[in-house]
Amino acid sequence: MSSEIAIRTEDLRRVFRARKREAKKQKREVVALDGISFAVPRGELFGVLGPNGAGKTTTIKILATLLTPTSGRAWVAGVDVAADPKGVREHIGMVSGGETSGYGLLTVEENLWMFSQFYGMETRTARARIRELLAVVGLSDRSRTKIYHLSTGMRQKMNFVRGFLTEPEILFLDEPTLGLDVQTARTLRGFVSNWLLEHPDRTILLTTHAMHEADELCARVAIIDRGRILACDAPANLKRGLKREAIVRLRIGGVDDVRAAVEPLPGVSRFAQRAHDDHLEADVILASDAALTSLLAAVEAGGGALVSLEKREPTLEDVFLEVVGHGFEEPNGGGAA
């Protein structure tokens, strides 16, 4: 395998089997990954985008040597994850969203120092880098605070510092901004972008279900659903593929479901809807503008009152709708993550 490829998977599959006594109550087998293949060149920030249960975390767990694949193969830094997990660990780091790692009775600085020791870092170097990184994420004034006093956002900033402290060649970020407020999430996204600019030879694999995050950060994105990769390209290219089509967002009052009226219409490529307190929001991809008239007529015939109509540029959410066939927040019956 070329050394320019940091991560590669080949027909990776993972099936979770229920234990005997659990098998009576639930499905015996859940296919979390169903033969995914992709390659990430060194220096790239690669995103894996998909809803809950799509297989994102399973992918990261396999690549980070926490889980073995049922079949297929994966290499990280040229090392086979199943055959030589120890070899892989020399090259990687990991940060997960909602992490509660560390020991509450230790301070932020002590916890970070402890984790640095597992990578064999010299104490003086570790302490200098901890101070530097805490300043970057705006946590310097909390370095002597015991971590059980930290808010969720502060704790996640600390987790980021832990992940980047050892400057790993390949870093796995698993839903790293999950549950964070807008400002903290923005700070951390900025931190990731800057870090990669300063370390162009490092590679990041990011899983997220935040479309804007993938759009903002990733050089390429793989859209994954039910354990399969459905599309993989640069966000701009993925969106460009939808330029020929018309994408409209309707806000409709008076009804809470227009699927039956809209979905069968000729010219409607994809449809997704979300109910809000006082209106229904529908995203529709039309084969052409010409289909708009019949769409509006169908809404009206179904008892809906049009509140607003917005024709807009395609987003990754539209790409997801196009390739997956249902909206991101709609139930999909996907596998386990």
Partner 1 sequence: MTGRSKWTTFWRTVRGRAYPRVIGAQREKSWVFFEIFLPLLQVTAYVFIYRAIQAPPEFLGFVVLGGAMSAYWLNVLWSMASQLYWEKETGNLELYVVAPTSRMAILLGMALGGMFQTTLRAAAIITIGALLFRVSMTVTNIPVLLGVFLTTLVALYGLGMMLSSLFLLFGREAWHFSNLLQEPVSLVSGFYFPVRALGQLVAAAASVLPITLGLDAMRQLLFPSMMTSLRFLSAEVELAILVGASVLFLFLAHRALSYFEKLARREGRLTVRGQ
As measured in angstroms, the least distance from the Cβ of 105 to partner 1 is 4
Out of 5, 73, 80, 106, the only residue in the binding site for partner 1 (CB under 8 A) is: 106
Per 3-state DSSP, the chain is made up of helix, strand and coil in percentages (nearest 5) of 35, 30, 35
- Residue 92 in the binding site for partner 1 (CB under 8 A): yes
Stretch that binds partner 1, among 114-122, 211-219, 281-289, 295-303 (CB under 8 A): 114-122
Q: Residue 308, Cβ neighbours under 10 Å: how many?
A: 11
Cα–Cα distance between 199 and 216 in angstroms, integer?
A: 18
* Six-digit token string for 156: 């996640």
As measured in angstroms, the least distance from the Cβ of 8 to partner 1 is 19
Q: Residue 16, Cβ neighbours under 10 Å: how many?
A: 16
Cα–Cα distance between 313 and 295 in angstroms, integer?
A: 19
- Residue 85 in the binding site for partner 1 (CB under 8 A): yes
Q: Are 175 and 217 in contact (CB under 8 A)?
A: no
As measured in angstroms, the least distance from the Cβ of 251 to partner 1 is 40
Phi-psi region of 303 (alpha: psi -120 to 50; beta: other; left: phi over 0): left
Tell me, residue by residue from 35 to 74, as one string, x for binding to partner 1 by CB under 8 A and - for no binding: --------------------------x--xxxxx------
121 or 133: CB nearest partner 1: 121
Tracing tokens 């297929």 back to the chain, one arrives at 72
Phi-psi region of 258 (alpha: psi -120 to 50; beta: other; left: phi over 0): alpha
As measured in angstroms, the least distance from the Cβ of 221 to partner 1 is 24
Stretch that binds partner 1, among 101-109, 286-294, 297-305, 316-324 (CB under 8 A): 101-109
- Residue 18 in the binding site for partner 1 (CB under 8 A): no
Q: In sequence order, what are the beta bridge partners of 81? A: none
As measured in angstroms, the least distance from the Cβ of 95 to partner 1 is 10
- Residue 103 in the binding site for partner 1 (CB under 8 A): yes
Residue ranges in contact with partner 1 by CB under 8 A = 14, 16, 61, 64-68, 85-86, 89-90, 92-94, 96, 99-103, 105-106, 110, 113-121, 146, 162
